[in-house]
Amino acid sequence: LREAISEHTARLRGVRYDPASEILVTVGVSEAVDLAMRATLNQGDEVILADPSYVAYVPGVVLAGAVPVPVPTDEAHDFRLRPEDVERAITPRTRAILLGFPNNPTGGVLEPSDVKGIAELAQRHDLLVYADEIYDRLVYGREHRSIVSLPGMKERTVYLAGFSKSYAMTGWRVGYACAPAEVIEQMMKIHQYTVMCVPTAGQYAALEALRSGEDDVRRMVAAYDERRKVMLRRFNELGLHCFEPRGAFYCFPNVTRTGLSDREFSERLITEEKVVVVPGSAFGERGAGHVRACYAASLEKIEEACDRIARFVGRR
C-alpha cells in the first residue's frame, strides 16, 4: 500500500516519497493530523490555522501542548487563508501553519497565489506546514494546487491525505502521512503504541481503490459538481447568501437574514422540518451566522431538503 501511495502522490503532486521511510498509513487522516502535531510540537509552540476550520484542529493543537492561532477568514474573500493575514499572525513562537484546504466547513479553496505566498512565508520564517488535503480530488472548475509541489516545500511539509472522501471509504478509516523520514519516524513511535496498525482489510481495500478506482473518482466528482450547483442556486434563491464553494462537498450559506443565530437556525430546522445542517460556529468564531450543508446526498434528497428549508425560512 505504501508503494502504491508513493506512486499515486508522484503522479498527482510531482513529489516522490520513499515507501519505507517517508510514508505512514494511519487510521484515517484524523490520526495522521494528531500524530503530526504530537511528533513535532513543543509546549507553547504556536500553530496558525484558518477560522473557521475542521473541528478537530484546535483541540489537536491544544492536546499537543501547543497554542492555536486562528486567523479570521471571511465570506468577502471566499474564506481563503490569505498570505497577508498569515504573515500578521507570525510571532517568534510560531512553529507551524496548518492548511486544511479544500476547507471543511466552507468548501473554500486556495488560489495558486495564496499557496505560493504561504510557502514563501514558511521558508522565510523556517516553519513547518501541515497540509491536510483529504478533499484534494473534490475540486470543481479548477485543479487543486498542493503546497508540497512547490520548490523547497517537501522538506518542511507533512502531507496528509486519505481515502474517506475521494473514494467514499469513510468507515474504512484509512489515511496516510508523507513527510521527511525523521518526522515519520517520530510519528511512528506514537502510532505503534496507540493503534498498532490500520486494520488489514482496510489496507487491502485502499490498495484496490488506488489500482482501479480512478474512473469512479471522476464520476463522483462530476456528480458532486451537479449537486453543488443545485444547492448553491437554491440557497441564493432563498436569500441565504452563499459564496460559490469550489471544493469538498459543503455549502456554507449565511443565515443571518432569518433573525436566528446559526445554532437556533440549525436546532429549529431539524425540529420543524427534519433537515440537518451544522452550525457554523462549531468550526470557529468566524463561522457564526452560517451553517454547513452537505451535498453528499442524492439530487432528490437535496431538492427535498431545500424545499423544506424554503418552507422553514418562509415562516420567519
Of 212, 242, 263, which closes a domain? 212
Residues 51, 25 share a domain: yes
Asked if 183 and 286 sit in the same domain, the reply is: no
How sure is the predictor about 146, in pLDDT bands with cuts at 50, 70 and 90? very high
Give the burial string for 254-292 (b: 16+ CB within 10 Å, else e). Answer: bbeebebbbeebbeebeeebebebbbbbbbbebbbbbbb
- Per-residue confidence (pLDDT) for residue 157, from 0 to 100: 98
Q: How many CB atoms sit inside 10 A of residue 146's CB?
A: 23
Percent of the chain with pLDDT over 70: 100
Same-domain pairing of 73 and 167 = yes
Return the CATH number at 300.
Answer: 3.90.1150.10
Give per-residue pLDDT as tens, 47-70.
999 999 999 999 999 999 999 999
The count of domains in the chain is: 2
The structure's pTM equals: 0.96
Which tens digit of pLDDT belongs to each residue from 255-294?
999 999 999 999 999 999 999 999 999 999 999 999 999 9
- Give the amino acid at 230: V
Task: Say yes or no: 200 and 272 in one domain.
Answer: no
Q: What is the per-residue DSSP string for 248-270?
A: TTEE--B-GGGT--HHHHHHHHH
Q: Which helix (H) or strand (E) holds 96?
A: strand 94-99
Q: How far apart are CA 257 and CA 140, in angstroms?
A: 28
What's the CATH code of the domain at 91? 3.40.640.10
End-to-end CA distance of the chain: 53
Q: What is the DSSP string of 99-161?
A: E--S-TTT-----HHHHHHHHHHHHHTT-EEEEE-TTTT-BSSS----GGGSTT-GGGEEEEE
Q: Please determine, for residue 147, whether its predicted confidence score (pLDDT) is greater than 90.
A: yes
Residues 186, 221, single domain; the answer is no
Q: How far apart are CA 244 and CA 265, in angstroms?
A: 21
* pLDDT at residue 316 greater than cutoff 90: no
Same-domain status, 31 and 116: yes
245 and 303 within one domain? yes
Does residue 156 sit in the same domain as residue 143?
Answer: yes
Provide the pLDDT for residue 177.
98
For residues 285, 291, 292, 294, the Cα torsion angle rounded to the nearest 10 degrees is 180
Q: How crowded is the C-beta side of 265, counted as CA atoms within 13 Å?
A: 27
- Region 222-245 average pLDDT: 97
**Is there a single domain that holds both residue 87 and residue 184?**
yes
Whether 65 and 193 map to the same domain: the answer is: yes
Q: Choose the final residue of a domain: 161, 184, 212.
A: 212
- Strands 157-162 and 128-132, sheet pairing: parallel
Same domain, yes or no, for 177 and 220? Answer: no
C-alpha angle with apex 282: 66 to 237, nearest 5 degrees?
140
The mean pLDDT of 63-90, rounded to a whole number, is: 97
Residues 227 and 142 both lie in one domain = no
Mark which of 160, 183, 212 sits at the end of a domain: 212
Give the residues across from 271 on adjacent strands.
Answer: none
Range(s) of the domain holding residue 270 = 215-314
Residue 108 confidence (pLDDT): 97
